[in-house]
């Protein structure tokens, strides 16, 4: 199953989104969180991103969804040490992209389909 990593400047934001994903019926999807800094502050931590990727990886690939710009830079830096075909940084809205990715992964879709679902969430109208 494809894993999902949520990278946020805020551990509370990442925790809340992780809780939401579990509630929508995708609790079997490996979701790992990399929120905040090691000392509990706001920011991103390369060490937390590395640990989250390792925790979410079940062998079918990992989708990484960041919240804001510097989180993207942290993930890009981390991915220099990973197999870029199995770990994909996705340009998607944080909440909607994560939900779409989790639902698609829970359905058993492969890495490419999970990436597409997260990216396409940008175009889904809310009303």
Active site residue 9: yes
Catalytic residue among 3, 9, 26, 104: 9
Q: Which residues contact 33 (CB under 8 A, 6 or more apart)?
A: 5, 6, 8, 11, 14, 15, 18, 52
Count of helix runs (H) and strand runs (E) in the chain: 5, 4
DSSP 66-79: ESSHHHHHHHHHHH
Active site residues: 9
């Amino acid at each position: 199953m494809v894993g999902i990593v949520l990278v946020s400047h805020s551990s509370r934001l990442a925790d809340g989104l992780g809780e939401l994903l579990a509630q929508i019926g995708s609790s079997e999807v490996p979701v790992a969180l990399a929120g905040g800094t090691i000392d509990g502050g706001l920011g991103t931590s390369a060490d937390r991103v590395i640990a989250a990727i390792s925790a979410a990886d079940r062998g079918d690939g990992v989708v990484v969804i960041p919240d804001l710009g510097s989180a993207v830079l942290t993930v890009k830096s981390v991915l220099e040490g990973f197999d870029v075909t199995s770990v994909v940084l996705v340009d998607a809205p944080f909440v909607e992209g994560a939900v779409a990715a989790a639902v698609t992964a829970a359905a058993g879709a492969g890495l490419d389909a999970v990436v597409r679902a997260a990216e396409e969430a940008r175009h889904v109208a809310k009303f």
